[in-house]
Amino acid sequence: MIWLDGKFQIGNVHCPDKSISHRALILASISKEPSKIFNVSLCKDVLATVDCLQKLGATIVFQGSTAFVTPISKPNNKVVLDCQNSGTTARLLCGLVCGLGVEATFVGDQTLCKRPMDRVQKPLEQMGAKFKQVEGALFATKPCKLVGTHVVAEVKSAQVKSAVLLAGLFAEGKTTYTEQVATRNHTENMLVSFGCNVVVDGLSTTVQKGQPVCANSTVPNDFSSVAFPLVLAVLSGKSATFSNVCTNPLRTGLLQILQNCGLNYTLCNTKIVCGEQVADLHVFPSKFGSIVATESQVVSAIDEIPLLAVVAIATKGTHKFFGVRELQFKECNRIQAIVEMAKKCNCQCLFDGDNLTIVSQGNLPTSPHFCCHNDHRMAMCGVVLANLCGGGSVDGQPFDVSFPNFLQCLGIFPKNLALVGSDISQSKSPILMRNLAKHAGICITHTLVELPKHATDQQLMEVYNSFDGLNVTMPFKERYAQLLGANCPAVNTIGRGVVPQTTDGYGMEQAIASCGVNLANLPIWVVGAGGAAKTALCALQKHNCKVQVLNRTQSHVDSLAKQFHLQQVENPVGVLTFVPECQFEQQIQLPPSVEFVLVSAYKGQSGIKKQAEERHLTVVEGLQMLYHQGAKSFALWTGTPIQNNYLSFQHDFNNF
């Protein structure tokens, strides 16, 4: 999760082209001689391609963003290629591996496994490729020999075209691919740059069998990445300049679409780099009218349609996008994601199965939250839109898939916070940190870091060194206390410049005090014997409370009684429970003397809470304790005053 405060400053945007990086690395890996590729994108998608090429037998060594590639001499057989989240990796390498004639099993993450792969397999099968389905994998290739043929496109996809053309380098005779409409031609340009025999005739591209020659290449900046700061600048009434951008006309559909509805921009210093048109792009404050994107324009802007939808949401008018059904088969169903985003901004949004219409009044909401569905482009759209709203949050931050330095290019440098623990997927900490950041006016990221219970010390310290601030939950509180030399047996708050400590006791005290209870000298029962109960005992001793511990394991009770010099309490005024509802907890009967209870578990039921409510006693909710301990942790990490906006957090918690 990232919370944005609406402040940004667009500076020098450096974002090597992802699509061109993939293709340059692939062709260099099957060339006659070693080659160098400068300014390679180091995003996760491209690094997935690097890993797969190395498994096939290429040697790729990086010095900064320069790749030194020694091509495959004899391809490795029976390899597993992990494409991670990258559809480009899976589809382009499908064509390459079929050409190499080796067995390979293609795997990927859950998102990639949902994306259609038959669209690339079918045309390759026309050339003689053979596939088999493997449980848990995308697909697997079988040894084959390819024969050049004429493939007519069934889908509008540059990835499918690229797979066929790469396979054509290994096929006997000529391979021709004919499209319905022109898609991006980076592969054709790269093939020419690497000395391959390629002929482009209208919508048909023909390649002959042959090995690429060495071609040292320089990758330009990625227009698909530049588009995000560009749109943010223009919609905010700012000018901006982006240098060395790939301005291939089949890639810059967003410029053409926005120019038709009011965008003011210029191109200068135009040149050809790596077979691509490259220029410096200047944009100026512009007033937009309604967007109309034709089907042919959409093809050259398919990855930017979600961003154009952001422009539509922020601009009064009726906006139409034709022929966008392909967006349903991206990293997520981007049509569905766009519809959700539009509704969050009170816009009407209609998809008829092919065309998308957005009707907006141009009035943006305050502090919205956007779901990115673990899709890097939807996450970046959410960041742009949240900034235009003056602040807001996005539930994920997978920017490193395509644009690792995205936030830095917007002049956004958040405090990076996290919760580390085991089995924390349902944690409410992201909601709490979002609320605290909103009231403090501070930009943060917040990540759930789930580790196995037996994580090594090295793993724990790697997490510690990766964030500005960490909340620690079970089972790592005592481990971190030992690793960091804390002055207490367990910690929940650690980070750069922060003395390792626990804020659980503070959270308990503040939650109880906020309900009008003064703990001084009170007789108390504490239910439980774990870390939270121990922290409560330390805090209660400061208030000179008389305390008795109740726990189903008597040896734990005896141990704590000895450690904290506890005694029997016959008539407790308060009962603090730090265990989930269970048979033991349900059997505890509240004495008549009890005036209040604290129930630390804010999920599920509690027998003690039920008794207290039936007797109309004061109930201190665990959610209050969570809020106050988190508020103190947040203040320690950010250097801001401790907040007390519990009712606001409670509202967010109940409505998020």
Pairing of strands 240-246, 264-273: unpaired
The arrangement of strands across the sheet holding 150-152 comes to 150-152, 174-178, 204-208, 198-201
What does the alpha-carbon distance between residue 217 and residue 215 come to, in Å, rounded to a whole number? 6
Token duo for residue 397: 């931050």
Token duo for residue 458: 């090295």
Closest among 560, 567, 562, 572 to 519, alpha carbons compared: 572
User: CA torsion sign, 318 to 324 to 325 to 326?
Assistant: negative
User: CA torsion sign, 307 to 310 to 316 to 317?
Assistant: positive
Taking CA atoms, 194 is separated from 76, 158, 274, 462, 647, in Å, by 23, 19, 9, 42, 63
Taking CA atoms, 6 is separated from 2, 382, 390, 598, in Å, by 12, 12, 4, 38
Q: HEC states along 45-65?
A: HHHHHHHHHHHHCCEEEEECC
Catalytic residue among 17, 45, 222, 303: 303
Closest among 250, 255, 242 to 291, alpha carbons compared: 255
What does the alpha-carbon distance between residue 394 and residue 377 come to, in Å, rounded to a whole number? 12
The arrangement of strands across the sheet holding 264-273 comes to 240-246, 276-284, 264-273
Taking CA atoms, 152 is separated from 122, 126, 178, 182, in Å, by 11, 10, 5, 13
Q: What is the DSSP string of 532-591?
A: HHHHHHHHHHHTT-EEEEE-S-HHHHHHHHHHHT----SS-SEEEE-S-S-HHHHHPPPP
Q: What is the DSSP string of 156-219?
A: --HHHHHHHHHHHTTSBSEEEEE-SS----HHHHHHHHTT--EEEETTEEEEES-PPPP--EE-
What does the alpha-carbon distance between residue 114 and residue 566 come to, in Å, rounded to a whole number? 58
What does the alpha-carbon distance between residue 479 and residue 228 come to, in Å, rounded to a whole number? 42
Closest among 626, 627, 638, 625 to 498, alpha carbons compared: 638
Closest among 487, 490, 484, 511 to 502, alpha carbons compared: 490
Please state the length of the chain.
656
CB-based burial label for 91 (10 Å; 0-12, 13-18, 19+): buried
Q: For tokens 């949050």, what's the residue? A: 393
Dihedral class, residue 391 (left if φ above 0, else alpha if ψ from -120 to 50, else beta): left
423 is catalytic: no
Pairing of strands 198-201, 204-208: antiparallel
Residues with a known catalytic role: 303
